[in-house]
Chains A and B, each alone.
Chain A
Amino acid sequence: MAIAPAPQTLTADVLIVGAGMAGATLALALQSGGLTPILIDRAPLSDQWAETFDGRASAIAFSAFRQWRTLGLAPDLEPHAQRIEQIIVTDGRAPGAASSTRPSPFALRFDSAEIADRVEGEPLGYLLENRRIRVALAKAIKAAGIAVLAPAAIRSLDLADGGATIVLEDGKTLEAPLAIAADGRKSWMRRQAGIGVVGWPYSQTGVVATVQLERPHNGVAHEHFLPSGPFAILPLTENRASLVWAESDKAAKALMAASPQAFQAYLDRRFGDFVGAATALPGRFVYPLALDLAERMTAPRLALIGDAAHAVHPIAGQGLNLGLKDIAALAEVLVDAVRLGEDLGSPIVLERYAQWRRFDNVMLAAATDGFTRLFSTDNPLVRAARGAGMGVVNAIGPARRFFMQEAGGAVGDLPRLLRGEAL
């Protein structure tokens, strides 16, 4: 192997591994607070913009959207953001329960008007196609002049007392007091740091398709937990909707291979009662359903954000919200620390982040525990519902009020970015 004449060393405040939605948002938040991040990804950013890369839509809580607005992304996101005026969660027994005027005993209705801590006129949240988010983030990253190393392959990660060092396959050495694992559900960084995960696969596959609706959706999102399986109808702009549902792994495979006509026929049969006439738009996507929670949010010289810390069931489109809350908290902790002259990767600083996020993590853990109990019963309704993941736990009884605030992201001590304030 040829030896590079002068191996290049780059230094930064923070090395962010993973330039997806979480990593890119964190980079922008840190840069806005005067820190210097470097983004590292194994694929070029432009890969993320392809129509075939990510067909999901994300529910963005109003507080999480404030963060993007504060970071200057609103002009690029708003044209593609569908306001969520109402969320209806139904745990019914028959098709049509949700559209009936008489709600089933398990129906929950979340109305934007009911949410406290919401500025007049703010909806419950927005639905945004991930692809639009990725394009807007990449544009903002470029405009902010943030260093991006992508595509870049990592040869080694060293988390030592003095700082984090990453060596790339091309010989470049990157040094910073802190590294961030923003590399998703199967995080390589997390494994390198020896942080384990708890969770389990649901032995099901999530299928995502976008449809053009004939009836106006009026900004209403539906989440149904039915014996035939859980599904969500998430309203998008231009009177489209993102359909998300769970199938057996085998059925999902068959759907992916089905002809457009057969796929359309399947959608008509399965969703016709709920959405009326709906025409499938190009693109079908499948995602394995599993719950993966990191045992810790931090390790020496490392912090986890987004799916690397907690990958949840995609049925409610809530996964990204958790990540955006991580980012708002972590960015504030780091910007405040740097303004005190503190060592960004010291255990004292990282503990502030872990402590701030522990509340959500405990809620997640509690929901997880409830979920384990759901698994240990043969009650047919519960059996059907368990495939629905975290959502069904939220749909049970006293959690409703909490869920309302949680969905809006107004739980706990809100970071400045989630209040719409600059760092």
Chain B
Amino acid sequence: MDIAPHSSIDPAEVERFSAMAAEWWDPTGKFKPLHLFNPVRLGFIRDEAARRFGRDIAKRRPFEGLRLLDIGCGGGLLCEPMARLGFEVTGVDASERNIGVARLHAEAQGLAIDYRADTAEALLASGEAPFDVVLNMEVIEHVADPGRFIRDCVSLTAPAGFMIVATLNRTPKALALAVVGAEYILRWLPPGTHDWKKFLKPSEILEFLKDEQVSVSGPFGVSYDVLTGRWSPSSDIDVNYMMTIDKSAAAGEHV
């Protein structure tokens, strides 16, 4: 694979996920926590998009006519639901193997998704038309240059569009729960999946974007209920959190 001069790819990171790629779609396998986590992310994306574009979520395929980009799409856990909701979806992942898994699965589901083994900066360099929605979910903590990466993603967002960033906060609680708890104690994720030092605080996301013409909302928290095994929206931003970044200043509000 060609590595662009200012590539956001950390080769060691790509290697780690490729090894797990075949298991992306097994909801009882290694990615079980991501499958459990998925509904709360899907609900957040859907509601934020419906509000901005004035779509009715009780309709089938409410987002018909809108283009969505999922950066770091993995096996397609977000791309497929978004395609079912009517978005014209492009899924990009640096790992050829992830893209292979994602393509195969989408085909079996009868979903037309444009999957590409590529990076944000390469997509930008290719002159790709900007997207109405850009998803930047649990990926920024894995890239080599997060500031550059998030600004490239802003450039890929259409003038009236928005981006969602989801990541892990660099707090002692996140270290305890997401790294030690999820990886080493619960064995939810293979040890080594996350490097706590690369987690980002919401203030750092804002700092990356200080020279961009955007309006940022959030952070929005999510929390896990051990009794029901379900995630739900929460005011707790100490571990997982999401932020929305609007290109048009009118759509969101500054924090």
Contacts and interface: CB of A to CB of B under 8 A. Distances in A.
Interface of A: 34, 161-162, 338-343, 346-348, 355
Contacts of B42: 340-342
Interface string B202-217: 0000000000000000
A342 B35 CA distance: 11
A162 B108 contact: yes
A342 B42 CA distance: 9
Given A339-B46, A341-B42, 14 more contacts: A34-B60, A162-B108, A162-B109, A338-B84, A339-B58, A340-B42, A340-B46, A340-B85, A341-B46, A341-B83, A342-B81, A347-B28, A348-B27, A355-B228
Contacts, number: 42
16 contacts: A34-B59, A34-B60, A161-B108, A339-B46, A339-B57, A339-B58, A340-B42, A340-B46, A340-B81, A341-B81, A341-B83, A342-B42, A343-B84, A343-B109, A347-B27, A355-B228
**Residue from A161, A340, A341, A348 having most chain B Cβ neighbours under 10 A:** A341
Nearest to A350: B27
A341 B28 CA distance: 20
Q: Which of A161, A338, A343, A346 has the most CB of B within 10 A?
A: A343
A342 B39 contact: yes
A341 B84 contact: yes
Contacts of B85: 340-341
Contacts of A342: 38-39, 42, 81, 84
B43 interface: yes
Interface string B225-243: 0001000000000000000
B20 to A, nearest CB: 18
Contacts of B59: 34
A34 B57 CA distance: 11
Contacts of B82: 341
A34 B60 CA distance: 7
A299 B27 CA distance: 14
A161 B107 CA distance: 12
B36 A348 contact: yes
Contacts of B70: none
A347 B25 CA distance: 11
Interface in B43-83: 43, 46, 57-60, 80-83
B80 A343 contact: yes
Contacts of B80: 341, 343
A346 B27 contact: yes
Contacts of A355: 228
Contacts of A347: 27-28
A340 B46 CA distance: 7
Contacts of A339: 46, 57-58
Given A341-B80, A341-B82, A348-B27, A34 B108 contact: no
A348 B80 CA distance: 15
A336 to B, nearest CB: 9
A414 to B, nearest CB: 15
Identify the interface centre among B36, B42, B59: most chain A CB within 10 Å of its CB: B42
A342 B80 CA distance: 8
A339 B42 CA distance: 9
Contacts of B46: 339-341
Nearest to B35: A348
B55 to A, nearest CB: 11
Contacts of A343: 80-81, 84, 109
A125 B60 CA distance: 35
Given A34-B58, A162-B108, A340 B28 contact: no
A340 B41 CA distance: 9
Nearest to A161: B108
A162 B38 CA distance: 19
Counting chain B CB atoms within 10 Å of each CB, the highest count among A161, A162, A338, A340 belongs to A340
A228 B6 CA distance: 88
Nearest to A11: B110
A341 B81 CA distance: 4
